[in-house]
């Protein structure tokens, strides 16, 4: 494995840890008011914050705000990195079948089984006389199908379909995207500017129309109205980088991006602070449209800055093999699928505790990581469970395989002797 591949694998492991930490901290942010509405009353605040604890810490507000700016865009970029090699190997139809199996089956299983279980504590916390039958009645009476964290899957599946279609009808366009991405390795700042420009076109108009916060309130596919095109930009940015080859261009382990990681750290911090300042001007009633545009544009700059810093830091410092990170990376997708249930139930279990918010958040994060990992490892032993949560097949160590072969040999030998 090349140093670039190793760094990106470790980055994927780091990202799943950040996702778990982000969801673990959401119950303890200060800016969310204590819930007064019922489970089935608009605006359905439990979709983003299933549990709202009375114990808060402002540090979690800063952490969660930064992750909300860049994290999902980075996940779409990483998801696009290896799409081109997979398309070339499997061709369009084979690729689509594989994506339907890997993304479609877990999505359906998740929204039918995992999400109703995960959301149940939000119902328990909002009613004085809970019952499973009442919960199910209210759940199915909602005007939308809760997706929880699984909205990422259907949007990623849709983008994979678009990529397969482009590969079939215009493969040269994708190769051209790869050539331009390869050239970005020499001047990352120009690529950054191009990414910000494309993101602004994709995001700012929708954010002005729908606001940066609004989610769909009907149907079975959850969508945050201002962001689908933005995620498309990052997905195809990742695809372009992967088409060029990850050992060259922007994500080369010894490239300009990795060498100037400190610059991108500064860009990430400054752009995030500026975005927070501009956004604060829009939070207290209607603001002039110029302020809204400026805040939305600062968002796409901070988004790109966060992504560039995480990638640069990984290329510079994480191009080393680690068995723990390798396991996290291999199981990252499955951990993403199952972790939300543990997060919400643990947050609910700690509601009555007088522990500080920081301690509660740490408990939720640590327990969620352990329980999710155990669940994924257990699913690897169940053939159909592997498909439901896309768990990687369990590898049989060579020593175990040899022992089994020896045991089988001696068992047959005993049978022959007994004859």
The DSSP output letter for 144 is: B
Q: For the chain, give the percent of residues with pLDDT over 70.
A: 94
Can you tell me which residue has the tokens 């780091």?
14
pLDDT one-digit tens code per residue, 296-317: 999 999 999 999 999 999 999 9
To the question of pTM greater than 0.85 for the whole model, the response is yes
- Token pair, residue 340, equals 């939300």
pLDDT digits (tens, 9 = 90+) for 232-270: 999 999 999 998 888 878 898 888 999 999 999 999 999
For residue 293, CA distances in Å to 170, 281, 285, 297, 300 come to 34, 12, 15, 6, 11
Residue 396 has pLDDT above 60, yes or no: no
Comparing CA positions, the residue from 345, 371, 339 lying closest to residue 121 is: 345
Query: pLDDT category, 394, cuts 50, 70, 90?
Result: low
pLDDT score recorded for residue 305: 98
* Average pLDDT in the chain: 91
pLDDT attached to residue 401: 41
Mean pLDDT, range 158-175, rounded to an integer: 94
Q: Which residue has the higher pLDDT, 128 or 13?
A: 13
Phi, psi of 219 (to 5 degrees): 90, 180
Residue 412 has pLDDT above 70, yes or no: no
The residue-averaged pLDDT of 358-385 equals 93
Each residue's pLDDT tens digit, 213-228:
999 999 999 999 999 9
What secondary structure letter does DSSP report for 45? G
Q: Tens digits of per-residue pLDDT, 181-208? A: 888 878 999 999 999 999 999 999 999 9
Instruction: Label residue 212 by pLDDT band (50, 70, 90).
Output: very high
Per-residue pLDDT at 407 exceeds 50: no
């Amino acid at each position: 494995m090349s140093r670039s591949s190793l760094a990106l694998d470790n980055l994927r492991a780091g990202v799943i840890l950040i996702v778990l930490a982000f969801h673990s901290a959401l119950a303890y942010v200060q800016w969310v008011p204590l819930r007064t509405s019922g489970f089935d009353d608009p605006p359905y605040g439990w979709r983003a914050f299933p549990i709202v604890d009375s114990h808060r810490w402002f540090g979690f507000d800063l952490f969660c705000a930064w992750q909300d700016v860049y994290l999902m865009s980075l996940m779409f970029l990483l998801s696009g990195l290896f799409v081109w090699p997979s398309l070339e190997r499997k061709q369009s139809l084979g690729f689509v079948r594989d994506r339907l199996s890997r993304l479609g089956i877990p999505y359906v299983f998740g929204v039918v089984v995992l999400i109703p279980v995960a959301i149940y504590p939000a119902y328990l916390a909002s009613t004085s006389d809970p019952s499973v039958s009442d919960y199910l009645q209210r759940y199915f009476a909602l005007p939308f199908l809760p997706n929880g964290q699984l909205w990422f899957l259907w949007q990623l599946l849709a983008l994979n379909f678009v990529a397969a279609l482009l590969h079939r009808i215009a493969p040269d366009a994708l190769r051209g995207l790869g050539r331009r991405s390869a050239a970005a390795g020499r001047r990352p700042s120009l690529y950054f500017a191009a990414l910000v420009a494309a993101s602004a076109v994709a995001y700012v108009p929708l954010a002005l129309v729908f606001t940066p916060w609004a989610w769909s309130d009907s149907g079975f596919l959850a969508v945050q109205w201002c962001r689908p095109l933005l995620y498309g930009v990052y997905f195809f940015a990742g695809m372009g980088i992967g088409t060029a080859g990850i050992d060259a261009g922007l994500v080369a382990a010894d490239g300009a991006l990795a060498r100037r990681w400190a610059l991108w750290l500064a860009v990430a911090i400054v752009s995030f602070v500026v975005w927070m300042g501009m956004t604060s001007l829009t939070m207290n009633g209607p603001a002039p449209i110029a302020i809204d545009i400026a805040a939305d544009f600062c968002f796409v700059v901070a988004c790109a800055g966060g992504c560039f810093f995480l990638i640069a830091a990984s290329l510079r410092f994480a191009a080393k093999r680690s068995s723990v990170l390798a396991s996290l990376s291999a199981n990252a997708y499955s951990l993403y699928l199952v972790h939300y249930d543990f997060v919400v139930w643990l947050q609910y279990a700690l509601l009555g505790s007088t522990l500080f918010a920081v301690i509660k958040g740490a408990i939720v994060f640590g327990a969620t990581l352990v329980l999710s990992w155990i669940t994924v490892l257990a699913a690897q032993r169940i053939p159909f469970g592997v498909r439901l949560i896309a768990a990687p097949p369990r590898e049989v160590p060579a020593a175990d395989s040899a022992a089994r072969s020896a045991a089988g040999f001696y068992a047959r030998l005993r049978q022959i002797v007994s004859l």
